[in-house]
Amino acid sequence: MLKSLLLLGLLTAQPPARLDDKQIDHLLAVIKPGEGEDPFATIPWQTNLWEARKLAAKQGKPILLWEMDGHPLGCG
């Protein structure tokens, strides 16, 4: 019984005592957004409304302002 529990513990992924390079690379790849996962991030968002006004005036375009309580690009 004790042997089985020990084996189960070994086979279950636990945070290791110290993360090695391979584990770190794997975790970074798993955690960060993958290619194509976040289409919204492909839009070249400005983050300053006043500068966006200047760009809009210069390029002759209207402004699309996405405003949320918590920044759309950095809030959870």
Residue 9 touches another protein, criterion: CB under 8 A: no
Cα 52 to Cα 38: distance, rounded to the nearest angstrom: 23
Residue 72 · residue 66 · CB < 8 Å: yes
Residue 7 touches another protein, criterion: CB under 8 A: no
Question: Helix or strand or coil: residue 30?
Answer: helix
Shortest reach from residue 20's CB to another protein, in Å: 7
Residue 28 touches another protein, criterion: CB under 8 A: yes
Distances (CA, A) of 59 to 37, 45, 56, 62: 30, 15, 5, 9
Shortest reach from residue 45's CB to another protein, in Å: 5
Residue 73 touches another protein, criterion: CB under 8 A: yes
**Where along the sequence are the contacts to another protein (CB under 8 A)?**
11-13, 15-21, 23-24, 26-28, 30-33, 37-76
